[in-house]
Amino acid sequence: MSHLIPIVEFAKRLVQHHHISATIFIPTTGTPPKSLVSVLESLPENIHHQFLQPVNVDGLPKDVRVEFVVSFIMQASLSSLRDALSCLKSKTKLVALVFDMFAHASMEVAKEFNLFNFLCCPLSAMALSFTFTLPKLDEETVGEYKDLPYPVQVPGSVSFHGPELMAPVQVRTDEVYKEYLLLSKRLSLVDGIMVNSFEELEQDTILALPGGTPIYPIGPLIRSEPSNGSDWHECLKWLDDQPSGSVLFVSFGSGGALSLEQIHELAHGLEMSSHRFLWILRSPNKVSFASVFTDSSQNDPLGFLPEGFLARTVNRGLVLPSWGPQIEILSHEATGGFLTHCGWNSTLESIVHGVPMIAWPLYAEQHMNAKMMTESLCLALRLEMDENGIFRKEEIEKVVKELMEGDEGKKISKRLKELKTAAMRALSIGGSSMESLSKLVLQLN
């Protein structure tokens, strides 16, 4: 979902502003989840979608990493993609194939059909800049990146110690690393790269990107249609009753999960802070990336919370199991802060709505995002772990109070208001992102 949404929003902009029709192909392993279907059903009439033939993943090991599973599905879908493109070519004039980072193997299919091939990068310009540097880093490095005695400088951005680098590159002997390295080597072969960022946010990094491949900053690409769900409307009614800017929104995205111990520490920290909160809470998990299809339909989906927590915080807190309307919550007047896993979609949504953040990274490139947000862009406060890798309740209490009422929180809030205006300006007619999109369309003609 986090990769599909930027693709969908990009297609909407093409259709709305440049009258180019689009068809979105979606690889599957069976019946698509309702959340995905709801996004696709909201598309304008001139944006079509087609599910490719389901891929059987039953033979994969149960403990295989999710990035490998997605890459496997993409590779196994190439034949179905060829058939779909052949059928589409018989009905309309095909110009370009836009592919996600996981689907870079489809470049070969684009060549077969004599199409432009464009990468739609759902990550930040910083993450893209790092990806460009990976081949050289791979040649120069012996052993694992986590053991590097020096930080890795990302052109145009901050530097990162080995353990802070994105999850796909942490184990160099892993198939996931080999796949990401292959993607990095292919960046110079594409006809252009759309990046989900905008000049006013990451100007230095965008300028530092290599000049050989056309780069189009066309962000922020965030979900624009409203969410559905009767339970969610209830949470928005609850927000209506809260004072302006008083609520801390807590969410770790569609796949983020915490251990039971960490959930208890977070609950106690929120309670100790005495601030209002709206918490989207998934069931505890030993790994930080849980399946987005985890079933939360048990009779007591919040029974794992500390005893008495819900009763003690009933007048200033609301906890929703598993899901919530994030865009609507962030855009609500009562929301004054966002404790986030630093996924790039969530970060951009917070920027667009001017909500200051607390960074709590979990997986993927989120640790890199968190460092950039706290050290370079000044959009978030950072929590400090103890020696056991746990954020303790006292630390959570301290940082929540600083964000919601302290001087640092006020500085971040001011910075976010400026960026909110800049994001709106970038997406307006003549703005930097709209001009970038126009240049991309010129390349197609």
- And the tokens for 75? 């590779």
141 torsion bin: left (phi>0), alpha (psi -120 to 50), beta (else) = beta
Alpha helices, H only, 21-124: 34-41, 66-76, 78-89, 107-112
Name residue, tokens 């059909």: 113
Cα 338-126-153 angle, rounded to 5 deg: 120
Beta strand 152-153 with 159-160 is antiparallel
Q: Shortest CA distance to 277 belongs to which of 234, 322, 246?
A: 246
d(CA 323, CA 227): 11
Q: Yes or no: say if 37 and 26 are a contact pair by the CB < 8 Å rule.
A: no
Residues 49, 100, 104, 332: which is the catalytic one? 100
At 318 the three-state DSSP class reads strand
Q: Shortest CA distance to 195 belongs to which of 178, 207, 182?
A: 207
Identify whether 3 is a catalytic site residue: yes
Identify whether 18 is a catalytic site residue: no
In angstroms, what CA-CA distances link 28 with 70, 85, 125, 220, 336?
Answer: 10, 17, 28, 27, 38
Q: Shortest CA distance to 337 belongs to which of 360, 324, 356, 359?
A: 356
58 Cβ partners below 8 Å, 6+ apart?
A: none
Cα 391-359-39 angle, rounded to 5 deg: 120
136 torsion bin: left (phi>0), alpha (psi -120 to 50), beta (else) = alpha
Residues with a known catalytic role? 3, 100
